[in-house]
Amino acid sequence: MVETWGICIYILKYSMKKCREHVPLGARSISTQIVRNRMKSVKNIQKITKAMKMVAASKLRLIQTRAENSRGLWQPFTALLGDTPSVDVKKNVIVTISSDKGLCGGINSTAVKVSRAINRLTSGPDKETKYVILGEKAKVQLIRDSKKSITICMTELQRNPLNYTQVSVLADDILKNVEYDALRIVFNKFQSVVSFIPTMATVLSPEVVERETESEGKLGDLDSYEIEGGETKGEILQNLSEFQFSCVLFNAVMENACSEQGARMSAMDSSSRNAGDMLDRLTLTYNRTRQASITTELTEIISGAAALES
């Protein structure tokens, strides 16, 4: 996480300051040695963050095209069913999407914060809200305060490149293991390398869709559609709702993976920039100390010679 690097760099800065304070005029080799060690470690950190930035950039390039390709998938469902964030149902399931790995800025904590707020929003008397967590990082955060509400946690999604079959198998597993009236999928939508928008997509259960269609509910428009195929309307709606969930979840996972790489890239970029700045300052200190010690030595020699002469 970027915070970790922040702390790391802070410690370095602090010790550097200390080391500057502690340079007495006479002491030579020891103080330069300390600064040289610091410089080495900062240089190494910079190398690592630079490499991580490059890796993130190339991963981002790959996944960005695929995320963009998947954007067509959810739009038909939103066009048909709209998005219904304020729908009032009993059983809410919050699907929080996060990353497995850290060092990617604040996207995971944003997702968790939003999920917690949705939890507060949807909770009430005889209502039930559960969490389904994708990715290690949200699990770590949510397990602290909402342990009881977690039903399933899924990790290691990105072992192979993300694809629809995988996400739909996952969606299938979720559907089989939780009871829901509404699924709230929380993820970070990828906008650009520096901007990720916390987003919530709502998928309603077939029963709720049917309820909202009738009598001026939120989906009153659905009534005007003719439904082809299947024996009953309920059956088609059930298939539709399941399919919608897997499609929406697929895009959400793609967008979040894309945001993750983008966030990691910019976090690593700023880390390597910080390390560079620090390196500059350290070099300055180092040179100054060296200069000072040379000057002191010269003065000593000259004054010693002068003392001998006189």
Partner 1 sequence: MASNAAAPFWRAAGMTYITYSNICANLVRNCLKEPFKTEALSREKVHFSVTKFVDGNPQKPASCFRGFVQCSLFYLSNVELGCGSDIKVLIK
Partner 2 sequence: MLRQTSRLLARSIATTQQPIRLMGARPMSTNMPATPVEDSTFAASWKKVAPHIDPPKTPSAFMKPRPSTPSAIPSKITVNFVLPYASQLTSKEVDMVIIPATTGQMGVLPGHVPTIAELKPGVLSVHEGNDVKKYFLSSGFVFVHANSVADIVVVEAVPVDRIDQNLVQKGLADFTQKLSSATTELEKAEAQIGIDVHSALSSALAG
> What track of x and - describes contact with partner 2 for positions 251 through 290 (by CB under 8 A)?
----------------------------------------
Residue 249 CA to residue 173 CA, distance in Å, equals 12
Residue 206 CA to residue 7 CA, distance in Å, equals 49
Q: Whole-number minimum distance, CB 108 to partner 1, in Å? A: 17
Binding of partner 1 by 144 (CB under 8 A): no
Q: State which residue, 237 or 275, has the beta carbon closest to partner 1.
A: 237
Q: What are phi and psi of 44, to 5 degrees?
A: -65, -45
Q: Which of 33, 69, 78, 177 forms a contact with partner 1 (CB under 8 A)?
A: 177
Q: Whole-number minimum distance, CB 186 to partner 2, in Å? A: 7
Tokens (6 digits) for 164: 């629809």
In 3D, which of 175, 181, 165, 168 has the Cα closest to residue 132? 175
Binding of partner 1 by 235 (CB under 8 A): yes
Residue 92 CA to residue 179 CA, distance in Å, equals 9
Residue 159's binding partner out of partner 2, partner 1, none, with CB under 5 to 8 Å set by partner kind: partner 1
> In this structure, is the dihedral angle defined by the CA atoms of residues 226, 227, 228 and 232, taken in order, positive or negative?
negative
> In this structure, is the dihedral angle defined by the CA atoms of residues 123, 128, 133 and 137, taken in order, positive or negative?
positive
> What track of x and - describes contact with partner 2 for positions 158 through 197 (by CB under 8 A)?
-----xx---x-----------------x--x-------x
> Any idea what DSSP says for residue 161?
P
Residue 226's binding partner out of partner 2, partner 1, none, with CB under 5 to 8 Å set by partner kind: partner 2
Q: Which of 109, 199, 207, 217 forms a contact with partner 1 (CB under 8 A)?
A: 207
Q: Which of 48, 236, 279, 292 forms a contact with partner 2 (CB under 8 A)?
A: 236
Angle formed at CA 27 by CA 24 and CA 29, multiple of 5 degrees: 135
Residue 29 CA to residue 34 CA, distance in Å, equals 9
Residue 68 CA to residue 163 CA, distance in Å, equals 13
Binding of partner 2 by 21 (CB under 8 A): no
Q: Whole-number minimum distance, CB 146 to partner 1, in Å? A: 9
Residue 56 CA to residue 109 CA, distance in Å, equals 19
How would you classify the pairing of strands 182-192 and 195-204?
antiparallel
Q: Whole-number minimum distance, CB 206 to partner 1, in Å? A: 7
Give the Cβ contact number of residue 131 at 10 Å: 29
Residue 156's binding partner out of partner 1, partner 2, none, with CB under 5 to 8 Å set by partner kind: partner 1
Q: Whole-number minimum distance, CB 256 to partner 2, in Å? A: 13
Residues in the chain: 310
> What track of x and - describes contact with partner 2 for positions 77 through 106 (by CB under 8 A)?
xxxxxxxxxx--------------------
Residue 87 CA to residue 218 CA, distance in Å, equals 8
Residue 213's binding partner out of partner 2, partner 1, none, with CB under 5 to 8 Å set by partner kind: none
Tokens (6 digits) for 167: 């996400």
Residues near partner 2 (CB under 8 A) are 66, 69-86, 113-114, 117-118, 120-121, 163-164, 168, 186, 189, 197-202, 216, 219-222, 224-230, 236, 239-240, 243, 247-248, 250
Residues near partner 1 (CB under 8 A) are 147-148, 150-157, 159-161, 163-166, 168-173, 175-177, 206-207, 230-232, 234-235, 238-239, 242-243, 245-246
